[in-house]
Amino acid sequence: MQDRPLTFSKNVFLPLTTVCRNRCGYCCFRTPVQEGCLMVPAEVERILKNGSALGCTEALFTFGERPEEEPGFSAMIRDGGFRTILDYCEAMCRKSIAYGVLPHTNAGILTLEEMERLRPVNASMGLMLETTARVPAHRGSKGKEPEVRLAMIEDAGRLKIPFTTGLLLGIGETMADREDSLFAIRDIHRRYGHIQEIIIQNFCPKPGTPMSSHPVPGTDEICVTIQMARDILPDEIAIQIPPNLIDASSLIACGVDDLGGVSPLTIDYVNPEHPWPAVEELRRLAGARGLAERLCIYPRFIEKGWYDRSLEPLINRLAQTVYGRSSGP
C-alpha cells in the first residue's frame, strides 16, 4: 500500500468522563470522581459546532471504562440528567450527527448488546487490544484482560461494525507477544472482515504514574513491529501511527498507511503533552506519497453498507466532500 497516499481523519476529541475502573500503570487520563471529571453537554456542543465549522468529519467519543463502578459517579451522571454514561454517550452521538460530524466511540469494554445499541449512532468504533500478554502495567485493570478485549473485538465483527484496534508498545510485552497479538487480530479479521485499521502506538511515560521512568521503545524497534504487522495482516487493514507521539518521518517507509485522527481544535487528552501536528506538517511528512483526508468509516465499508441507514445521508454528504463521490474513492 506504499504507492497510495498517506491518509488522515480531521477530528474532534471528546472525553465525556475521565473516571475509569482500571488502574493502568502508564495512564494519566484517569481521575477520581470530582468536579470537572464530566464534560458537560454545553461543552460537547460547543466543540461539535466549532469542529464542524473547521471541517472536522469525525467526533472521537471516549471515556474511562465502566465509570459507574467508581463510587459517586452514578450520582454525578444522574445529576447531569442521564441514567448512565452510555445514555450520555448515545445522546451526544446524536448531537454530533446533527452537527454533521460522524461519531466514532472508543469507550473501553462494551458488551455485544451495548455495541448494538451504539451502532446506529456510530459510523465506526474501536478498542485497543494493546497486547495479548499479561503485563504488570495492567495489574488492577479488569478491562485489560486479553481474552475480554479479544471477545469484544470479535463481537464488533459479529455486528458488522467497522473497527479500529491496535498495539501499545513498551508496556512490558516482548516482540513475541506483539507477534501473537497481531496474529490474534488477523484471525478475528479473517472471520468477520471488519477491522479497517490497527494503530501501532508507542508508550509515553507520564510524570506521577508508576511507569514514569519506564524505558520506551526506540525507532528501530517500532519499525520492526510495523514491518511485522504489514507481513502478518492483510493489505486491506491500514497500519496507523500517531504522528504526535512518534518520529513519523523515520517510520512512514516501514509500512505506514495512515496518520490517524488529527484535530485542529482539541488536544490529545490521553497524551496532553504532545500537540497534534498541523495538516501542513502531515503533508510535509507524506512527501512524494501525498496526503489524503478520509472519513472514520473507510470507503470499502461505505460500499458494503456497514452502517445504520439513518447515517446514510450524512455519510454520503461527507464522502462527496472528502472523496468526490458518495461511495468513496
The alpha helices in the chain, defined as continuous H runs, are 41-53, 73-79, 85-98, 112-118, 146-158, 175-192, 219-232, 248-251, 279-286, 299-304, 312-323
- Within a domain: 328: no
The residue ranges of the chain whose pLDDT is under 50 are 328-329
96 closest CA partner among 123, 66, 125: 123
CA distance 238 to 76: 39
Record the cell numbers describing residue 217, joined without a space. 521503545
User: Which one-letter amino acid corresponds to residue 319?
Assistant: A
Record the cell numbers describing residue 225, joined without a space. 513491529
Record the cell numbers describing residue 90, joined without a space. 448515545
- Quickly tell me which residue has 504488570 as its cell: 136
pLDDT confidence of residue 327:
55
Decide if 60 contacts 104 (C-beta within 8 A): yes
- CATH number for the domain spanning 78: value is 3.20.20.70
Decide if 152 contacts 207 (C-beta within 8 A): no
pLDDT confidence of residue 329:
40
pLDDT confidence of residue 268:
86
Q: Helix 85-98 vs helix 41-53: angle between axes, to the nearest 10 degrees?
A: 30
- Within a domain: 23: yes
- Within a domain: 18: yes
Q: What is the pLDDT of residues 280-306, one digit of tens each?
A: 999 999 999 999 999 999 999 999 999
Q: Domain count for the chain, please give it.
A: 1
245 closest CA partner among 284, 282, 274: 274
User: Which one-letter amino acid corresponds to residue 111?
Assistant: T
pLDDT confidence of residue 267:
87
CA distance 149 to 316: 32
- Within a domain: 312: yes
- Within a domain: 192: yes
CA distance 264 to 247: 20
CA distance 136 to 171: 8
pTM of structure: 0.95
- Within a domain: 1: no
CA distance 273 to 281: 18
- Within a domain: 244: yes
Decide if 200 contacts 169 (C-beta within 8 A): yes
- Quickly tell me which residue has 472471520 as its cell: 191
Q: Report how far apart, in Å, the C-alpha atoms of 327 and of each of 89, 273, 304, 313, 320 are.
A: 28, 37, 9, 12, 8
User: Which one-letter amino acid corresponds to residue 198?
Assistant: I
Contacts 24+ apart (CB under 8 A), 276-283: 276/243, 276/244, 277/243, 277/244, 279/8, 279/10, 281/243, 282/6, 282/8, 282/243
Angle at 285 between CA 50 and CA 329, to 5 degrees: 65
- Within a domain: 152: yes
Which residues constitute the domain of residue 294? Answer: 6-323
Q: Report how far apart, in Å, the C-alpha atoms of 303 and of each of 13, 40, 162, 221, 306 are.
A: 27, 36, 12, 36, 8
CA distance 181 to 129: 8
Give percent of the chain with pLDDT exceeding 70: 98
